[in-house]
């Protein structure tokens, strides 16, 4: 009997010791970045699906968070309300801002993309092209960003003034996604220093894949004469800015457009010879379908919250290129 109890206890202890740390990502594409870096050393779960603007955790979500070691935030509105509750339910939970040190664009709700963020391009140039060879940093190349980060500190107060209206969709710019992945890698190394080399190797591969995609995307989109694309929800601002495109939103101030706004959008679509309206599968497609029926354009789906971020960006490039190429 004693041997049986000892054996069962040993199995339970072995199971606990071998259990992978649970990492919770606020949204699926951030979960993708975490899994790409963490590989089989971690268990990743993503919370918000569908319309993240109206997301509230379900009981199963709260149970998952309670077991987690790390929660990876992405600068979304619901996080501000729920992270304190997550931390209350999991006393040792580490919250990681994957969007840390990324200059934000103002969220675009007025029909045309807002390109007045003067620091965005500067941030992109420094977000993923380091050589990752610094010996003393826990994350290779991190020291090369120190001076760049200091420059941003002078603008933090200014950025905070606009935080309520900041566009959170930074993961849709591949270079900024590298910054997010680096922040995630730093957190995983802090949690599990024994596997530092594993995480760094995976981060390096992910960075190389995103940079290779970025070069390919720039080449594919370089020859487009018409660089405007119409979306329902303005999620693609960082993507548009990075590739010198112009996002035009149907949604106005987070709401369905009014009749006069729909009329002006119909005129713009006809005047600009827009052939495709991109709807968000996580949101209503009613207005997009109405505009399509009035303009002869067709409706296609682009998902800003798709799990496989790299593949999703490839889909977006192909779709926008095809939509704006002469037929």
pLDDT of residue 101: 93
Length of the chain measured in residues: 327
Do 50 and 282 meet the contact criterion of CB atoms below 8 Å apart? yes
Percent of the chain exceeding pLDDT 70 equals 77
CB atoms under 10 Å from CB of 316, counted, come to: 21
Alpha helices in the chain (DSSP H): 2-18, 28-38, 59-66, 77-89, 120-125, 146-153, 156-161, 174-191, 196-221, 237-242, 259-271, 286-295, 309-324
What are the start-end ranges of the H helices in 99-168? 120-125, 146-153, 156-161
Residue pLDDT, tens place only, 116-137: 343 444 444 444 444 443 334 4
Average pLDDT over residues 277-289: 92
24-74 pLDDT tens trace: 999 999 999 999 999 999 999 999 987 787 789 999 999 999 999 999 999
Q: Choose from 106-110, 119-123, 249-253, 296-300 the range with maximum mean pLDDT.
A: 296-300
pLDDT of 109 over the 80 cut = no
Q: Which of 48-62, 150-164, 208-222 shows the lowest mean pLDDT across its residues?
A: 150-164
Q: What is the pTM of this model?
A: 0.81
Nearest-10 Cα torsion for 152, 155, 157, 163: -80
**Least confident window among 107-111, 181-185, 228-232, 297-301:** 107-111
Q: What DSSP designation does 192 have?
A: -
Confidence of residue 254 (pLDDT cuts 50, 70, 90): confident
């Amino acid at each position: 009997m004693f041997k049986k109890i000892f054996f069962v206890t040993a199995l339970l202890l072995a199971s606990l010791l071998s259990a992978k740390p649970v990492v919770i990502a606020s949204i699926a594409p951030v979960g993708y970045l975490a899994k790409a870096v963490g590989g089989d050393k971690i268990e990743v779960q993503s919370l918000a699906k569908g319309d993240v603007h109206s997301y509230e955790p379900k009981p199963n979500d709260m149970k998952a968070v309670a077991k987690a070691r790390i929660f990876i935030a992405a600068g979304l509105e619901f996080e501000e309300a729920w992270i304190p509750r997550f931390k209350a339910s999991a006393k040792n939970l580490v919250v990681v801002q994957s969007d840390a040190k990324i200059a934000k664009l103002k969220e675009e709700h007025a029909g045309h993309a807002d390109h007045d963020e003067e620091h965005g391009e500067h941030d992109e140039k420094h977000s993923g092209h380091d050589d990752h060879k610094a010996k003393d940093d826990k994350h290779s190349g991190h020291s090369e960003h120190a001076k760049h980060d200091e420059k941003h500190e002078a603008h933090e107060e200014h950025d905070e003034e606009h935080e309520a209206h900041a566009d959170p969709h930074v993961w849709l710019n591949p270079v900024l996604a590298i910054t997010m992945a680096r922040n995630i890698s730093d957190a995983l190394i802090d949690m599990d220093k024994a596997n530092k080399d594993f995480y760094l190797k995976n981060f390096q591969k992910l960075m190389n894949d995103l940079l290779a995609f970025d070069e390919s995307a720039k080449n594919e989109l370089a020859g487009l004469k018409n660089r405007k694309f119409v979306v329902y929800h303005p999620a693609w601002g960082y993507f548009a800015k990075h590739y010198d495109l112009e996002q035009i939103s149907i949604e106005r101030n987070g709401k369905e457009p009014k009749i006069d706004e729909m009329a002006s959008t119909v005129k713009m679509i006809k005047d600009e010879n827009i052939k495709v309206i991109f709807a968000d599968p996580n949101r209503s497609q009613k207005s997009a379908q109405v505009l399509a029926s009035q303009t002869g354009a067709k409706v296609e789906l682009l998902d800003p919250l798709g799990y496989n971020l790299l593949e999703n960006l490839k889909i977006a490039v192909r779709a926008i290129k095809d939509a704006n190429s002469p037929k």
